[in-house]
Amino acid sequence: MLHGKRILLVIGGGIAAFKSLDLIRRLRERGATVTPVLTRAAEEFVTPLSASALAASKVYRDLFDLTDEAEMGHIELSRAADLIVVAPATADLMAKMAGGHANDLASTLLMATDKRVMIVPAMNVRMWEHPATQRNLATLRGDGILVVGPDEGPMACGEFGPGRMAEVPEIVQAVEAALISGPLTGKRVVVTSGPTHEPIDPVRYIANRSSGAQGTALAAALRDLGADVVFVTGPATVPPPDGVQVVAVETAQQMHDAVLSALPADLAVFAAAVADWRTASQAESKMKKDGSGDVPTLTLTMNPDILAAVAQLDADRRPGLVVGFAAETDDVVSHATAKRARKGCDWIVANDVSAGTGIMGGSENAVTLITQDGAETWERASKDAVARQLAARMAEALGA
Ligand code: C5P
């Protein structure tokens, strides 16, 4: 239920805007207060009067409406809500949001808000698939914007494909999920994930087989408990979760810098498979075979240990709980216990990645949790289930 929740509903100009009128009703049925904002284009599809009648609220339309400013300024309006929902989010609105435009009431509210924003895209299939829209979508996801839909199916324009606005029950469900506060609401969490790539020359790099699956699942599980998640990811094969702030990096040094600048945080989880070494120097241009049969020698140097650096920060900068991972192939518990002490972190989540377990790059994980109280071995389960179990334990440890 949504009792006491305030939703600012930005209705964009698209044929799907009629569904937003039903959305107002369904959100109110569940106890939410809905304040509609109509773009100029939206008024071509639905009338302010119908939005106002269904919402039992004033409808906001114009940035320069001085009466509105006297009652409630646009900054205040953007912050009075618990969640801003943009439905339908047209290609144009998405582009404005991704580009940081603020030239009408809707785009200004979206720039000024300090609340979570959810978009429900709806547009013609070609517009949806256009590289510009996909670029904007990636930017918005990276900014932590929640995205619902679009669905695939026949469209008002006669074409078929992805671009239909999600159905109202699906949007209501997503709104509920976004607004239900969890034990980690108000907590800031940094999660590292994926491999790092360490360049040798402009075309070659040192890498590893991490898919980023476990780190991604953990970030999603922590988000679902209400945490504000900064997700610092190397070039992973699985896409980052929605609703988290994504910081994409390539090298260990970049990951180190991104993590340190994301602090302070209440919790830091280091699920990335960081390359231990990088080349001591990088060739400016592609290294060539010279025909002599000689092979180049790569001189390596140590990368910063990000986990150890954060775990050993002074108490005023160190997150309250610092969790590392340990991928081991033998003597898992004793190696991981030694690693916990060496790095100075609070917990180590250890797993056996020896050949035959299928864990590295696979969908399951079997972990042993090492804490100050000793080692606990958990049953093998999907990486999602392990993530949820770990997230719940982290929330408990933070006293949430
Ligand atoms: O020393 P090892 O690589 O086995 O330690 C693994 C743990 O340390 C993981 O949590 C990993 O994310 C983290 N780590 C790191 N920076 C490094 C190496 C490892 O944060 N340079």
Query: CB of 17 within 8 A of CB of 86?
Result: no
Is 188-397 the same fold as 6-179?
A: yes
Fold classification of 188-397 is: Rossmann fold (3.40.50)
The per-residue pLDDT for 77 is: 87
Residue type (1 letter), 241: P
Q: Is the pLDDT of residue 31 over 60?
A: yes
Which residue has better confidence, 83 or 162? 83
* Mutate which of 197, 232, 274 for ligand 1 pocket (most atoms within 8 A of beta carbon): 274
Q: Is the pLDDT of residue 203 over 70?
A: yes
Contacts within 8 Å (CB) and 24+ apart, 378-386: 383/213, 383/214, 383/217, 384/217, 384/220, 384/221, 386/214, 386/217
| Cα–Cα distance, 287 to 296 (Å, whole number) | 9
Q: Rounded to whole angstroms, how far apart are CA atoms 85 and 97?
A: 13
Weakest-pLDDT range from 108-117, 152-161, 332-341: 152-161
Nearest to 299 by CA among 198, 210, 208: 198
User: In Å, how far are 228, 287, 293, 297 from 283, measured between CA atoms?
Assistant: 39, 7, 19, 12
CA distance 181 to 5: 11
Q: Which of 305, 330, 331, 370 most suits a substitution to test ligand 1, by most atoms within 8 Å of the C-beta?
A: 305
Q: What is the full DSSP assignment across 19-34?
A: HHHHHHHHHHHTT-EE
Q: What is the pLDDT of residues 297-311, one digit of tens each?
A: 999 999 999 999 999
The DSSP result for 288-348, as a single string, is: ---SS-------EEEPP-HHHHHHTS-TTTS-SEEEEEEEESSSHHHHHHHHHHHHT-SEE
CA distances from 154 to 21, 150, 166 (A): 21, 12, 13
- Output phi, psi for 213, to 5 deg: -65, -45
Whole-number Å distance, alpha carbon 287 to ligand 1 midpoint, is 30
User: Which residue has a Cα nearest atom 4 of ligand 1?
Assistant: 326
> Which residue is listed with tokens 């106002």?
52
Residues in contact with 69: Cβ distance below 8 Å, sequence separation at least 6, in sequence order: none
Identify the pLDDT of residue 15: 93
Residues with CB under 6 A from ligand 1: 192, 252, 270, 272, 274, 276, 303-307, 324-326
Domain ranges of the chain: 6-179, 188-397
User: pLDDT by residue (tens digit) across 343-353?
Assistant: 999 999 998 88
The rounded Å distance from CA 133 to ligand 1 centre is: 36
Rounded Cα distance between 20 and 10, Å, is: 9
Among candidate residues 155, 166, 98, 168, the one with its CA nearest the CA of residue 125:
155
- Does the structure show a pLDDT above 80 at 163? yes
Rounded Cα distance between 206 and 222, Å, is: 30
Q: Which has the minimum average pLDDT: 300-309, 318-327, 375-384?
A: 375-384
For the ranges 4-18, 155-169, 253-267, the lowest mean pLDDT is seen at 155-169
* Burial bucket for residue 209 (CB in 10 Å: 0-12, 13-18, 19+): exposed
What is the Cα Rg of the chain in Å? 24
- For residue 145, the CA-to-ligand 1 centroid distance in Å is 29
pLDDT higher than 90, residue 217: yes
- How would DSSP label each residue in 204-260? -EE-----SHHHHHHHHHHHHTT-EEEEEE-S-SSPPPTTSEEEE--SHHHHHHHHH
Name the percent of the chain lying above pLDDT 70. 97
Cβ count within 10 A of residue 159 = 11
Given a cut of 70, is residue 330 above it in pLDDT? Answer: yes
Instruction: For the full predicted model, state whether its pTM sits above 0.75.
Output: no
Question: Which residues are tagged catalytic?
Answer: 157
Alpha-carbon distance 98 to 105, whole Å? Answer: 16
At 194, is the pLDDT very low, low, confident or very high (cuts 50, 70, 90)? very high
Cα 356 to middle of ligand 1, angstroms: 23
In ligand 1, the atom with minimum distance to the C-alpha of 302 is: 21
Fold of 6-179: Rossmann fold (3.40.50)
What is the arithmetic mean of pLDDT over 364-382? 92
Query: Rounded to the nearest 5°, which phi and psi values hold at 273?
Result: -95, 85
Residue 186 CA to ligand 1 centre (angstroms) = 27
Read off the pLDDT band of 136 (50, 70, 90). Answer: very high
333: number of Cβ within 10 Å: 16
Query: What is the residue with the minimal CA distance to atom 2 of ligand 1?
Result: 326
Q: What is the mean pLDDT of the chain?
A: 92
pLDDT for 175 equals 93
148: left (phi over 0), alpha (psi -120 to 50) or beta: beta
